[in-house]
Amino acid sequence: DTGVSQNPRHKITKRGQNVTFRCDPISEHNRLYWYRQTLGQGPEFLTYFQNEAQLEKSRLLSDRFSAERPKGSFSTLEIQRTEQGDSAMYLCASSPLTGYSSYNEQFFGPGTRLTVL
Amino acid sequence: AQKVTQAQTEISVVEKEDVTLDCVYETRDTTYYLFWYKQPPSGELVFLIRRNSFDEQNEISGRYSWNFQKSTSSFNFTITASQVVDSAVYFCALSESNTGKLIFGQGTTLQVKP
């Protein structure tokens, strides 16, 4: 396993369309995080899973956004009725759950760059 | 509220100069972890270092060194003898204690010119 992978790497869509991104974490990593990064800013937390359970969602995650992690393996992030403000880089990260939870470094994928026209 | 501030938006140096990237954080947690990540032009965030709130000992790794000062809530990063390959955006981040989620600063863009 060489790391976290994300697909697609780039997605261009028209406003109002639905899009879905996939993240494959490092095997056996219990935690999976989604972040959004806009130009010139640091990544912002969206949501995270511990195994298959979604434990927290940011206020940034409107009801047009939904994320799943079936069977605690890969995760998908879907955006419905995309808006131009959704244009950003969507980053996925995974980490093991050992010891103190905030100790573990997160391993990031290459991201999916979304452009909404 | 938890917050990370990187006041330097962009820094430009000439190769072989030393450069320090500043990071100031706010948290109410008594136990917390701080991180530095590098984001090269390719876009993928690369982990550089982790530091816990109980360990204020400075750390050196090759040309990289980190100065953690709890009294001033700062976790600064110094690159000695900078190289062109160090050009990237550098992020400081604070880890939330229960969830492990990262709160990032806005990043500092470092440009090292030959």
User: Given this model, what pLDDT does residue A101 score?
Assistant: 57
User: Given this model, what pLDDT does residue B30 score?
Assistant: 85
As a whole number of angstroms, the distance between CA B34 and CA A15 comes to 38
Scanning B38-77 for CB atoms below 8 A from A yields 42-47, 50, 52
State whether A110 and B42 contact (CB < 8 Å).
Answer: yes
Residue pLDDT, tens place only, A97-111:
766 555 678 999 999
Residue of chain A minimizing CA distance to B53 = A103
As a whole number of angstroms, the distance between CA B40 and CA A28 comes to 27
> What distance in Å separates residue A108's CA from the closest CA in chain B?
6
Torsion sign (Cα): A53, B94, B60, A109: positive
Kindly list the residues from chain B whose CB atom is less than 8 angstroms away from the CB atom of residue A40: 106-107
Evaluate whether B84 touches B14 at the Cβ level (below 8 Å): no
Beta bridge partners of A7: A22
Residue A6 has pLDDT above 60, yes or no: yes
Mean pLDDT of A53-59: 91
Token pair of B35 as six digits? 């991180």
Mean pLDDT of A49-73: 91
Torsion sign (Cα): A84, A85, A91, A95: negative
Residue A1 has pLDDT above 80, yes or no: no
State whether B96 and A102 contact (CB < 8 Å).
Answer: yes
User: Given this model, what pLDDT does residue B99 score?
Assistant: 83
Residue B103 has pLDDT above 60, yes or no: yes
Mean pLDDT (chain A) is 92
Mean pLDDT (chain B) is 93
User: Given this model, what pLDDT does residue A116 score?
Assistant: 97
Token pair of B91 as six digits? 């992020």
Kindly list the residues from chain B whose CB atom is less than 8 angstroms away from the CB atom of residue A104: 100
As a whole number of angstroms, the distance between CA A12 and CA A25 comes to 24
Residue B17 has pLDDT above 70, yes or no: yes
As a whole number of angstroms, the distance between CA A65 and CA A29 comes to 23
Evaluate whether B100 touches B10 at the Cβ level (below 8 Å): no
Residue A86 has pLDDT above 70, yes or no: yes
Please give the C-alpha separations between residue B110 and each of B39, B74, B77, B78, in angstroms, as whole numbers: 10, 19, 12, 12
What is the CB neighbour count within 10 angstroms for residue B70?
11
Residue pLDDT, tens place only, B32-88:
899 999 999 888 999 999 888 888 778 888 999 999 999 999 999 999 999 999 999
